[in-house]
């Protein structure tokens, strides 16, 4: 198993550009999520999905879109990048608990380091 | 609402000495609590988790944490630090309603030879 994979590892964008951060998992996990990590703030939840076709907003969703057309993939789209979106982005996955949230153990990808100039 | 506070942004210890990373939580429900570790330029790895079983939880690499409800704390300890323990550590809370994970701000652990 490859686990959770993310591409690209690094990306530099100019303000106003768009791009998609890719995330894939091969563990058949229902629950997938995106976090951003900023110094001194820990990880903050951007969007999450409890299964194919179902997504919802997390703590900091503004400026980001997601979709979940398959169980394996959960891309994160920046429609018009802003310098405030400079961060490290982590994708995570887990099985879903009966209430639709993540189970105790989430598996994290290696991260994408994004710089917006 | 759930929240978690890591009381130290940076902890420095000498190799072979004990490690203590402090975490306090706030939760309206009986929480699940976790410690994750992040080595430089790597993703996050689960160290240990508390889910209402034994209050003393043992994790990987010799780490353990004790859940103290009266103090709303979940401090991480290790008897003897190793150079490879240098990393950032995150205390995380998840409520039993199936909600999201809430991360603390992180504690950077440095280990001196």
Mean residue pLDDT across chain A = 92
B89 vs A42: CA distance, rounded Å: 10
The helix, strand and coil proportions of chain B, stated in percent and rounded to the nearest 5, come to 5, 55, 40
CA distance A72 to chain B (A): 19
A to B CB pairs, distance under 8 Å: 57
Q: Is B16 helix (H, G, I), strand (E, B) or coil?
A: coil
Alpha-carbon distances, residue A15 vs A20, A88, B71, B97 (angstroms) = 15, 17, 46, 39
* Cis-peptide, bond into residue A8, ω within 30° of zero: yes
Q: Is B83 helix (H, G, I), strand (E, B) or coil?
A: helix
Nearest to A99 among B44, B51, B97 (CB): B97
pLDDT tens for chain B, 113 residues: list them: 778 999 999 999 999 999 999 999 988 777 889 999 999 878 889 899 887 778 899 999 999 999 998 999 999 999 999 999 999 999 998 865 555 788 999 999 999 99
CA distance A30 to chain B (A): 14
Query: Cβ of B46 and A110 within 8 Å?
Result: no
């Amino acid at each position: 198993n490859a686990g959770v994979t993310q591409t690209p590892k690094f990306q530099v964008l100019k303000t106003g550009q768009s791009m998609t951060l890719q995330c894939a998992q091969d563990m058949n996990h229902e629950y997938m999520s995106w976090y951003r990590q900023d110094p001194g703030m820990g990880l903050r939840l951007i969007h999450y999905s409890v299964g194919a076709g179902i997504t919802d907003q997390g703590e900091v969703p503004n400026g980001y879109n997601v979709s979940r057309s398959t169980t394996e993939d959960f891309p994160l789209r920046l429609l018009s990048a802003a310098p405030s979106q400079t961060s490290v982005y982590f994708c995570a996955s887990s099985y879903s608990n009966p209430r639709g949230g993540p189970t105790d153990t989430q598996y994290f990808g290696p991260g994408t380091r994004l710089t917006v100039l | 609402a759930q929240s978690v506070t890591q009381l130290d942004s940076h902890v420095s210890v000498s190799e072979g000495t004990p490690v203590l990373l402090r975490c306090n939580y706030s939760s309206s429900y009986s929480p699940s609590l976790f410690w994750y570790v992040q080595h430089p330029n790597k993703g996050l790895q689960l160290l240990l988790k508390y889910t209402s079983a034994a209050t003393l939880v043992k994790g990987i690499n010799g780490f353990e944490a004790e859940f103290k409800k009266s103090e709303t704390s979940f401090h991480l300890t290790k008897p003897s630090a190793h150079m490879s323990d240098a990393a950032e550590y995150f205390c995380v809370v998840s409520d039993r309603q199936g909600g999201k994970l809430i991360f603390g701000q992180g504690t950077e652990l440095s280990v001196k030879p």
